[in-house]
């Protein structure tokens, strides 16, 4: 069966510090991968998605970047965090060619920028 992992689960970082959140998927090959942010009381906002290694699409211009160094690894990064980067970050995967059918979410990372 497929599983998706995210770490860390929680993170408190000062403004201006770098960020690296990692997401890995097991039990599937060539998944579509997604990064979402969920602000308090708000809906999910798609940040990045990837259909393959090195292929990243950005949905919202911002202070963040994403990379996919391996087939089942997706990394969300920032060189300098802003207060507005605080939120709940979710990674998700879907089967290749079925991106609009079903997405499976990871447990999330709670980021607080102080």
Partner 1 sequence: KNQVEQSPQSLIILEGKNCTLQCNYTVSPFSNLRWYKQDTGRGPVSLTIMTFSENTKSNGRYTATLDADTKQSSLHITASQLSDSASYICVVSSKDMRFGAGTRLTVKP
- For partner 1, the binding residues (CB under 8 A) are 41-46, 88, 90, 92, 100-108, 110
Pick between residue 19 and residue 92 the one whose CB is nearest to partner 1. Answer: 92
Burial (Cβ within 10 Å: 0-12, 13-18, ≥19) of residue 92: buried
Pick between residue 26 and residue 102 the one whose CB is nearest to partner 1. Answer: 102
CB of 16 to partner 1, least distance (A): 26
Pick between residue 42 and residue 79 the one whose CB is nearest to partner 1. Answer: 42
DSSP result, 74-92: EEEEESS--GGG-EEEEEE
> Which letter does DSSP use for residue 29 in this model?
S
């Amino acid at each position: 069966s497929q599983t998706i992992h995210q770490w860390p689960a929680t993170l408190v970082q000062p403004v201006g510090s770098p960020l690296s959140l990692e997401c890995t998927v097991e039990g599937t090959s060539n998944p579509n991968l997604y990064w979402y942010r969920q602000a308090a009381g708000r809906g999910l906002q798609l940040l990045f998605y990837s259909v393959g290694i090195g292929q990243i699409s950005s949905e919202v211009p911002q202070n963040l970047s994403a990379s996919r160094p391996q087939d089942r690894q997706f990394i969300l990064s920032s060189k300098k965090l802003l207060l507005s980067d605080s939120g709940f970050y979710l990674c998700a995967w879907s089967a290749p060619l079925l991106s609009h059918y079903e997405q499976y979410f990871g447990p999330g990372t709670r980021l607080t920028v102080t």
